A and B are shown apart, each in its own frame.
Chain A
């Protein structure tokens, strides 16, 4: 909301400059976004009147004007075409400055002397888009004003403060509301506009019926007769312009002016177009149509509230008026509406129709019904003054259920305890009274009468906030949880394990990436996911940003592959990354209870030294650090992976991980022309099997004996199976087994391979003798032969 400082000063006496006021109001709760100084850079620009105009002899597009600026008449050359003799205009004199530091000097234009410049609104720093066409295309044509007066004064070019008002304080969406806050901030008083109504003797002919009193709480109206429609005076137009509101005519401008002044949105109807001068506030009929003031036809539903006459809707309550009763140049009799509507309903209508207005954004926050009469009278007064119309006798006021005054009893001890302050009841009283709260102190309690415009104040905490913000949050002494119990800050087992997993991944050279959570079904097609996979049962978003972001992800794979793709296409030659995040698996669809959110990990890598064993190494390291034993690797059936180069990691009978080379088809789907290695880890299962207990095992006191063994086995035999036989046959004496060679080729039959291990034999009780070792070693050789048909080489 934009408010000019000069307007604000009508209601409160302030001595600080706008910048200081902005800072102080921000600290007391009315946040200021910016302060814009309109007139600051303008010097020596005055009001002038064009007394003659003729064509420039040597330039088709230029005109030579004689301009009366009071003290003298100046010859000024201009390129503008929208001016005529008799127009009042802003004139930048010789030696003047304009916004942006522009300096105007006497000079010659195509040989003709020009003693200054006629100014456009834009050149004065104003927003031209809010002006009517005749003021916009060229020179800023003004109404009649005293010649020679400084434009800064007559146009009230001062500081404009932009406020960001929180939704709980619609009362602050007005100049008076801000004046009240400013007054309280400086412990001063403010004043309301002076309202004088002089009614003529004729009775007001309009009547009002509220049919939907659950949506319209009060409807106040007045009638102005014999108004003459025309532009409103410059001072009013300028105040509206500075508030970002387009001036229209003396009637509409008054409704907007009073809305800005008091916070109550108003509407003006052409009374002669209201059938039988009878206003009916009712729900719209399903499918009822209304053309609103913006020339758009709106199709309404039965939950929307309309202002109607006896045969048709004439306005969308609280949102926008109807074209059929619009104020036009021919309007003579006017009905002023000052009503109070249910905020949530206005919000509904405005949302549903995609139509927000200054009025709707105020009404939807819930306004004070008590201000309606004041606002109506104020508008009547101004309209009569500006349009020469008469105020007919009698104010219509339909108010089915008047609100009752809210009285709260709060404990000042408690307020001090909440704020950490030590304020006396008297100090609290003072603060509250400046905010228009009525207060009575007793020895423990403060009885508070809440003003009607403070619908947001309901209890002790709200009163504490009022006192706290006016006392100044920054005056409250900082404490560090004194008087509270000491707690230990701890991480859960899962959180610690997650840290561990991250550490392992990082130390394996994987970089952490973070991707978003929305997927499309196409993402699942790209990773070869079968049609019947449970991962296709994804949680669907009702209002997604797009089809390709319509679901909550059930897998991290497509996201990681997008990252791979991004890096690959940008020629990042070595890629190692991981992500730890949640996937969302519904228990049933459509969702009736919250889905499972499963923490998962994913790894991807490519690069010159990366192969299947590199990624397996990471998994082995992870299992080792988490102390997970008895792991089985079996060929994976996962269609995203290369069938011959991928494995599932089985612990117990649970699959905790899959890893291997990305299926070439999938790589092709992502335009990756490189072997990519990936792994997906179910962290919840991993944590379940992680063994936190480590028990110290004494270091060996006796030496180990190393024996190597090389055997010929079928090509398809898994190395892990051979190792298992070795360990099983060797029993406790086998301290360690390490593969050191796998060989196929020359001197080896075609269907065979040679596999060589080092075996360390050790006893923890004694030094083993050669015979003891040989006995076990022979047993191993025999078992290998029996179980795997292995031949010793």
Chain B
């Protein structure tokens, strides 16, 4: 009997070794270990054994059962693994097929640059102020230290609606409106559309965009102006950017300065972008003129401030290497989708 059991084990092992799928494995399990299986059949003959033999044969038959079960489990895992392998192999696809895209829209390049600029200044504690595009002469000129006879006023450049109402030529009137309605400390930037009577060409548009900034508090210095704008330039154009401040003239700031940044296209060596000078003129700035503070109801003896302004269209063109301003307003989606 012992030998029959041993033979059974060998047979089962042999069958198992050639089994290739789960179904065959199940058949083998039923054949040997099932209620009507071979092992059961053999054990039925136990009754004929002697009292001494029974425990021995019992143990052997248990060993055989365990051995077969162990083999079965092992084989099952093996088969399962093979089947998975096979399935995965059969599922290979062409990974170079184009993806199924839910296309999301693209921001206009000017908005992308504006968002970056907003983020920089929000982080520096500047809020965002807005104001009317159709503006009173008072806010656009007079309150900015530019009375009617002033040479900086150029009738050719301004679109007028009535004698006293015009299309703002700069975002600076928002400065005045902000100072009129709030007390220092004031820190704002005001982005927006401005208008000047220029025919549209590759570098001019009668409608364009500016960003103006203003900080007013006790003890603000020209050093602060430089520090803030330097930081801004490094954030917007890269941390290697150098700046230089040149004296300039604006009626509403004194002292006034223009800021150049080292050319971000050539790093200052000189190229087409910077006109081979290594520098690019980016913005106008200065310390708010005491007359402007006074007219806006802020005591220039107590407070000082700085202001700056830049053209969004120009910066966008420079940043992305766009060579014609008209592309920004033409809105060919093949252009917009590049950003």
Once the chains are docked, how many angstroms separate the CA of A343 from the CA of B153? 13
A594 near B336 with CB under 8 A, answer no
Those of A418-443 within 8 Å (CB) of chain B: 418-421
Contact A545 B206 (CB under 8 A): yes
Which residues of A have CB within 8 Å of B221? 417-420, 479
Number of interface residues of A (CB under 8 A): 89
B231 to chain A minimum Cβ distance, whole angstroms, is: 7
With a cutoff of 8 Å between Cβ atoms, the chain B residues found around residue A26 in the complex are: 246
Q: Is A691 an interface residue (CB 8 A)?
A: no
| Distance (whole angstroms) from the CB of A540 to the closest CB of chain B | 7
The answer, yes or no, to whether A399 is at the interface (CB within 8 Å) is no
CB-CB nearest in chain A for B304: A418
Asked if residues A420 and B207 are in contact (CB atoms below 8 Å), the reply is no
Say yes or no for B223: interface residue by CB 8 A criterion.
yes
Partner of B155, one of A351, A518, A576: A351
- Which A residues, 574 to 600, have Cβ-Cβ distances below 8 Å to chain B? 575-578, 582, 584, 590-591, 594-595, 597
Q: Are B125 and A566 in contact (CB under 8 A)?
A: no
List chain A residues, Cβ under 8 A from B130: 495
Given the known interface contacts A543-B159, A582-B133, the answer about A465 and B255 at a Cβ–Cβ threshold of 8 Å is yes
Q: Are A489 and B254 in contact (CB under 8 A)?
A: no
Q: Are A484 and B224 in contact (CB under 8 A)?
A: yes
Q: Is the CB of B333 within 8 A of A572?
A: yes
Q: Which of B160, B206, B230, B333 contacts A567 (CB 8 A)?
A: B333
B248: A residues at CB distance < 8 A: 29, 31, 166
Interface status of A477 (Cβ within 8 A of chain B): yes
Q: Does B102 contact A (CB under 8 A)?
A: yes
Stretch in B17-25, B48-56, B70-78, B104-112 touching the partner: B104-112
B237 contacts chain A at the CB level, 8 A cutoff? no
Contact indicator per residue, chain B 223-262, by CB within 8 Å of chain A (1) or not (0): 1101110110000000000001111110000111100000
Are B247 and A343 neighbours in the complex by a CB distance under 8 Å? no
The stretch of A67-75, A208-216, A505-513, A529-537 that contacts the partner chain: A505-513
Please give, as numbers and ranges, the residues of chain B lying within 8 Å of A476 by CB-CB distance.
222-223, 226
The listed residue (A167, A168, A509, A512) touching B108 by CB distance below 8 A is A512
Q: Is the CB of B136 within 8 A of A594?
A: yes
Q: Which residues from A are CB-within-8-Å of B132?
A: 594, 597
Shortest CB-to-CB span from B30 to chain A, Å, is 41
Is A473 touching B257 in the complex (CB atoms < 8 A)? yes
**Residues of chain B from 166 to 187 with CB closer than 8 A to chain A in the complex:** 167, 185, 187
In the bound complex, residues from chain A placing their C-beta under 8 Å from that of B230 are 478
Contact present for A591 and B162 (CB under 8 Å):
yes
The yes or no answer to A552 lying at the interface (CB within 8 A) is: yes
Q: Which residues of B contact A459 (CB under 8 A)?
A: 290
Contact A461 B149, beta carbon cutoff 8 Å: no
> A29–B248 Cα gap in the complex (Å)?
6
Minimum distance in angstroms from B145 CB to a CB of chain A: 10
* Cα(A485)–Cα(B187), bound, Å: 10
Tell me which residues across on chain B come within 8 A of A474, comparing CB atoms: 244-245
Known A506-B106, A542-B162: A595·B185 in contact at CB below 8 Å:
no
Closest chain B residue to A488, Cβ basis: B125
Cα A491 to Cα B289 with chains together (Å): 27
Which positions 187-218 of chain B face chain A at CB distance < 8 Å? 187, 193, 195, 197, 199, 205-207, 215, 217-218
Cβ-neighbour of A566 out of B105, B110, B111, B331 (below 8 A): B331
A85 at the interface (CB under 8 A from B): no
**Which residues on the B side are within 8 Å of A344 (C-beta)?**
149
A349 to chain B, nearest CB (A): 13
> Size of chain B's interface in residues, with CB distance under 8 A?
80
B38 partner residues in chain A, CB cutoff 8 A: none
B70 CB → nearest A CB, Å: 45
- Whether, in the assembled complex, A239 has its beta carbon less than 8 Å from a beta carbon of chain B, the answer is no
Residue of B whose beta carbon sits closest to that of A473: B245
Q: Is the CB of A420 within 8 A of B223?
A: yes
B residues near A168, Cβ cutoff 8 Å: 151, 249
Q: A474-B245, A513-B336, A515-B331 are in contact. Are A490 and B127 (CB under 8 A)?
A: yes
The answer to whether B159 and A541 have CB atoms under 8 Å apart is yes
A787 to chain B, nearest CB (A): 39
Alpha-carbon separation in the docked complex, A690 to B134 (Å) = 27
Q: Which partner residue on chain B sits nearest A516 by CB separation?
A: B207
Q: Are B328 and A594 in contact (CB under 8 A)?
A: no
Question: Hey, which chain A residues are within 8 Å of B330, CB to CB?
Answer: 566
Give Cα A578–Cα B331 distance, bound, in whole angstroms: 11
- Given A469-B255, A577-B331, residue A543 in contact with residue B105 (CB < 8 A): no
Q: How far is the CA of A578 from the CA of B248 in the complex (A)?
A: 40
Complex CA–CA separation, A485 to B185 (angstroms): 7
CB-defined contacts of B43 to chain A, threshold 8 Å: none
> B289 contacts which chain A residues (CB < 8 A)?
461
CB of B269 within 8 Å of the partner chain:
no
Q: Taking A31-B248, A481-B224 as contacts, is the C-beta distance between A517 and B111 under 8 angstroms?
A: no
Docked-complex contact A542 and B159, CB < 8 angstroms: yes
User: Given contacts A28-B247, A505-B105, is CB(A517)–CB(B207) below 8 Å?
Assistant: yes
A465 to B215, CA, bound (A): 19
Cβ–Cβ contact A542 & B160, under 8 A: yes
Partner of A514, one of B108, B123, B222, B333: B108
Q: Is B165 located at the chain interface by the 8 A CB criterion?
A: yes
B103 close to A (CB within 8 Å): yes
CB pair A489 B127 closer than 8 Å? yes
Tell which of A31, A478, A563 touches B226, judged by Cβ atoms closer than 8 Å: A478
Check A460–B290 contact: CB distance below 8 A. Answer: yes
**A268 CB, min distance to chain B CBs, angstroms:** 27
Q: Flag B130-167 by CB within 8 Å of A: 1 or 0 each.
A: 10111110000000000001011001100111100101
**A587 nearest CB across to chain B (Å):** 12
Pick the contact of A507: B105, B162, B249 (CB < 8 A): B105
**How many Å lie between the Cα of A378 and that of B223 in the bound state?**
45
Interface residue? A775 (CB, 8 A): no
| Least Cβ–Cβ distance between A664 and chain B, in angstroms | 23
A477 to B223, CA, bound (A): 6
Kindly name the residue among A168, A506, A584 whose own CB sees the greatest number of chain B CB atoms within 10 A.
A168
Residue contact A552 to B287, C-beta cutoff 8 Å = no
Quick one: which of B135, B156, B226, B255 has the most chain A CB within 10 A? Answer: B255
Residues of A within 8 A of B228 (CB): 480-481
Give every chain B residue within 8 A of A513 (Cβ-Cβ). 108, 331, 336
Cβ of A318 under 8 Å from chain B: no
CA distance A575 to B105 in the complex (A): 10
Complex CA gap A541/B167 in Å reads 9
Interchain CA distance A280-B128 in the complex, whole Å: 58
CB pair B104 A509 closer than 8 Å: yes
Q: Indicate which residue in B106, B151, B222 contacts A511 across the interface (CB closer than 8 Å).
A: B106
- In angstroms, Cα B255 to Cα A469, docked, is 8
What chain A residues lie within 8 Å of B161 (beta carbons)? 539-542, 591
Give chain B's interface residues, CB within 8 Å of chain A: 102-108, 110-111, 121-128, 130, 132-136, 149, 151-152, 155-156, 159-162, 165, 167, 185, 187, 193, 195, 197, 199, 205-207, 215, 217-224, 226-228, 230-231, 244-249, 254-257, 287, 289-290, 304, 328-334, 336-337
Q: Given contact pairs A167-B249, A468-B222, A481-B125, enumerate 6 new A-B contacts (beta carbons under 8 Å).
A: A29-B248, A465-B247, A480-B228, A509-B105, A566-B332, A594-B134
* Nearest 6 pairs of A and B residues by beta carbon: A420-B223, A420-B221, A465-B255, A166-B249, A29-B247, A489-B122
**Would you list 30 pairs from A and B whose C-beta atoms are within 8 A, ordered by A residue?**
A29-B248, A167-B152, A366-B151, A418-B221, A418-B255, A465-B255, A468-B255, A473-B222, A473-B226, A481-B125, A481-B217, A484-B219, A485-B185, A487-B127, A488-B127, A489-B127, A490-B127, A492-B127, A509-B105, A510-B105, A511-B333, A512-B106, A513-B331, A516-B207, A517-B195, A539-B134, A543-B160, A566-B330, A572-B333, A594-B136
